[in-house]
Structure 1
Amino acid sequence: MLPRHPHRSEDCRAISEILQRVGDKWTVLVVGKLGDGPLRFNELRAAVGGISQKMLTTTLRG
Structure 2
Amino acid sequence: APDYTAQLSGISAQLADMAQQATAETAEDADPFQKPFEEYTTGETLALIGVVLLLVFGVFSLLKNFVL
TM over 0.5: no
Calculate the TM-score normalised by the size of structure 1.
Answer: 0.35
Calculate the TM-score normalised by the size of structure 2.
Answer: 0.32
Q: Give the structure with higher Rg (CA).
A: 2
Of structures 1 and 2, the one with the larger relative CO (CA 8 A, separation 6+) is 1
